Structure formats: C-alpha cells, structure tokens
C-alpha cells in the first residue's frame, strides 16, 4: 500500500542558534521521525538572518540542504526582523494551504515564537522546536510545542566519524526509527534510508542485497536482528 505523504516545514532563525556548533544534517534526519506508514517530505525549508554577520559554518550547512535564505539586515541599531518575517511566513503558509503542512519545525531559542507555536497548534498542526538545552526548563516553551529537540545533542563532539557514505546513511536511518516499535522488519530500515536519500538502491552498492548490508551493520554493533522460523528478519535492538 502506498504511504501517505506527511509534509514538513522547517524555519531557522540563524542568529538565535548561532552560538551552538551542531550538525544540521543529523537534526534534519531527526525531524523526519514519524509512524512507519507515513512518507515524510520537507516541502518548505527557509532560513532567516542578517547575512553580513551570518556564521560561516552554519550558513554553509544551510546552503548544502538547499534552504531558501532570507536576508534580514538590521534597521539602525535595532534587532533584525528575522523572528517577525519567519512567523509571518509560517502563518501565511497555513492559509495558502498548498502544500498543506502537517509538521512545523522551528530552530530558535526566542520565546517570541511561542505565539506562532500556539497559533499553529490551535489549527491542528504539529509543532516542533529545536533549541538550546538550557531552554528546556522554560515552561512557556515546553507548553507551546509538541516536541523539543536540543542542538547540543547534535554536535560533532564525541561522535564516531563514519567515512563510508552507505554506513552513514544507515546510521542516520536507524536513528530516525521509532524504537518503541521494535522489533520490526529489516525493510523498515531500508525504507528509512530511501526516505532520507531517494536515490539509494542497495543493488548498486558493494552490498548488493539489503541483508548483506544488515549483517555488516550488525557486525559493527549498530543493530541486533533475529531471523524467525518463517524466514522474516527483524531488527530487535538499535545501539546508536
């Protein structure tokens, strides 16, 4: 049965999160988390900030992910208008409805965004916030969003460097799986890999079959799996 599309919009307040060094690629993969019967798609990716002062590494990552970058220069000595323009664009998408957004994701530590968060939830939308860990105790943020992710959980520090692109894709995919649904058929990991990278075809890799890939990933300690009497292979544990 064909999966139902689940549309995701991502909005980044560049200056609000610039003080934390994080891997945007890993955060984006985490924003895809959903039920297995949904096909998650990023339909809006926009980043706002004063480009003259933009942090180079953050901007490079944003460009690599093909975000629409909106320059928001300062007016006089006042703060720039990134938060205002971002909120207006998000709310406008609600009324345009083409495409209809299922999940809104905001990268910011600015409590002003609780206004747009609450408003979108009143219209039945799922709203996620990616912020700094120190913001987790701010009750106003926790009460205005459905899910909070912390930038510090996606830093490059103390992470194993993975050189192989297929291995990296596999790790990103299993991190994005719902562990509460384990055990699950190994095909779920295959689907997640294709969701992250639609061009992925295991037959065109050195592994040739997905079971060869699964066995190799088990040997590296990323997962455990079992084979049932019916021949079904199920992932039983994720270790990343």
Backbone angles phi, psi at 86, to 5 degrees: -60, -50
pLDDT tops 80 at residue 37: no
Q: What is the pLDDT of residues 121-180, one digit of tens each?
A: 999 999 999 998 887 666 667 788 999 899 988 886 545 566 688 988 898 888 877 766
pLDDT tier at 1, thresholds 50, 70, 90? low
**Pair 11, 48: CB distance under 8 Å:** yes
Task: Give the C-alpha distances (Å, rounded to integers) separating 83 from 113, 129, 148.
Answer: 7, 14, 18
Q: For residue 133, what are its two tokens? A: 């860990």
Q: What angle do CA 201, 153, 167 make, to 5 degrees?
A: 20
3-state secondary structure of 174: helix
CA pair distance 10, 47, nearest whole angstrom = 8
How high is the pLDDT of residue 161? 60
Alpha-carbon 134 to chain mean position: 20
Residue 24 carries which DSSP code?
Answer: H
Backbone angles phi, psi at 222, to 5 degrees: -75, -30
The pLDDT of residue 53: 83
Tell me the average pLDDT of the chain.
86
pTM of the model: 0.69
Q: How far is CA 122 from CA 5, 103, 145, 193, in A?
A: 22, 13, 11, 33
Least confident of 1-5, 83-87, 131-135, 158-162: 158-162
For the CA atoms of 133, 138, 144, 147, the dihedral, rounded to the nearest 10 degrees, stands at 30
- Of 5-9, 40-44, 60-64, 179-183, where does mean pLDDT reach its minimum? 179-183
């Amino acid at each position: 049965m064909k999966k139902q599309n689940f549309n995701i919009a991502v909005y980044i307040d560049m200056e609000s999160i610039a003080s934390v060094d994080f891997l945007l690629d890993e955060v984006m993969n985490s924003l895809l988390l959903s039920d297995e019967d949904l096909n998650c798609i990023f339909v809006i990716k926009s980043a706002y900030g004063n480009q003259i002062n933009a942090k180079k590494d953050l901007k490079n990552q944003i460009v690599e992910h093909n975000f629409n970058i909106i320059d928001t220069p300062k007016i006089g000595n006042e703060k720039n208008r990134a938060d205002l323009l971002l909120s207006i664009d998000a709310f406008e998408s609600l009324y345009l409805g083409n495409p209809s957004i299922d999940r809104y994701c905001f990268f910011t530590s600015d409590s002003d965004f609780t206004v747009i968060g609450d408003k979108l939830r009143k219209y039945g939308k799922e709203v996620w916030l990616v912020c700094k860990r120190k913001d987790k105790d701010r009750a106003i943020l926790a009460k205005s969003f459905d899910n909070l992710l912390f930038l510090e959980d996606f830093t490059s520090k103390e992470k194993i460097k993975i050189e192989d692109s297929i291995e990296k894709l596999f790790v990103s995919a299993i991190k994005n799986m719902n562990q509460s649904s384990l055990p699950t058929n190994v095909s779920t990991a295959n689907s997640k890999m294709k969701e992250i990278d639609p061009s992925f075809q295991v037959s065109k890799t050195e592994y040739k079959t997905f079971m060869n890939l699964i066995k190799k990933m088990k040997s590296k300690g990323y997962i455990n799996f079992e084979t049932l009497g019916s021949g079904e292979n199920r992932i039983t544990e994720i270790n990343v």
